[in-house]
């Protein structure tokens, strides 16, 4: 089984089409949506984990590209710079997997890298820029 974290960008021309449904039905792929912002007749963005047999995965990616969907691999690793972090907790509000949380009663921000999906949503909201990304250089 092959799995990757992906960011899919849908143009307004294809946002109303059942593209994810086709990935499941026609290519036997599984997905886990981590973040979605899709509006009818406007651009849409999905952050998702996609998994399946390697052959089906490649065919599914080709289908996405042929359908006009922009596909990018997500960074493979996000880490927290402990020296920069000043425990504000802003990152915890946007973390879809619970990798960033507030430990109570100490009110300390904890980071569990094993739960991190590398969606990078925490990076732009961190005022201290303590969340750092190690990029996967391959782009799908």
The alpha carbon of residue 65 and the mean position of all alpha carbons in its chain are separated, in whole angstroms, by 18
Query: What contacts 89, CB < 8 A, 6 or more positions away?
Result: 102, 107, 109
**What are the structural domains, with CATH classification, of the chain?**
2-73 (3.30.70.260), 77-134 (3.30.70.20)
Q: Given the structure tokens 């089906």, which residue do they identify?
A: 56
pLDDT at residue 71 in the model: 93
pLDDT per residue as tens digits for the range 61-120: 999 999 999 998 876 688 899 999 999 999 999 998 899 999 999 999 999 988 887 778
Asked whether residue 135 carries a pLDDT value surpassing 60, the answer given is no
Nearest to 56 by CA among 89, 81, 23: 23
Let me know: does 79 contact 86? Beta carbons within 8 Å: no
First to last CA, the chain: 17
pLDDT at residue 96 in the model: 87
Q: Is 57 helix (H, G, I), strand (E, B) or coil?
A: helix
Alpha helical stretches, state H, 6-79: 19-27, 54-66
pLDDT per residue as tens digits for the range 3-43: 788 889 999 889 889 999 999 999 999 999 888 888 877 88
Per-residue confidence band for 139, with pLDDT thresholds at 50, 70 and 90? very low
DSSP string, 64-124: HHHTT-EEEEPPSEEEE-TTT-----GGGGT-SSSSEEEETTTTEEEE-GGG-----THHH
The pTM of the full predicted model, rounded to 2 decimals, is: 0.57
pLDDT at residue 103 in the model: 95
């Amino acid at each position: 089984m092959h799995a990757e974290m992906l960011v899919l960008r849908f143009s307004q021309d294809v946002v109303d089409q059942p593209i994810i449904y086709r990935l499941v039905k026609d290519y036997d792929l599984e997905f886990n949506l981590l973040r979605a912002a899709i509006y009818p007749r406007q651009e849409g963005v999905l952050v998702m984990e996609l998994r399946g047999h390697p052959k089906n995965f490649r065919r599914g990616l080709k289908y996405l590209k042929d359908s006009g969907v922009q596909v990018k691999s997500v960074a493979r690793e996000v880490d927290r710079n402990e020296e920069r972090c000043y425990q504000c907790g802003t990152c915890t509000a946007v973390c879809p997997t619970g990798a960033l949380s507030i430990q109570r009663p100490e009110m300390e921000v904890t980071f569990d890298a094993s739960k991190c999906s590398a969606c990078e949503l925490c990076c732009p909201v961190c005022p201290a820029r303590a969340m750092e990304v190690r990029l996967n250089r391959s782009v799908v």
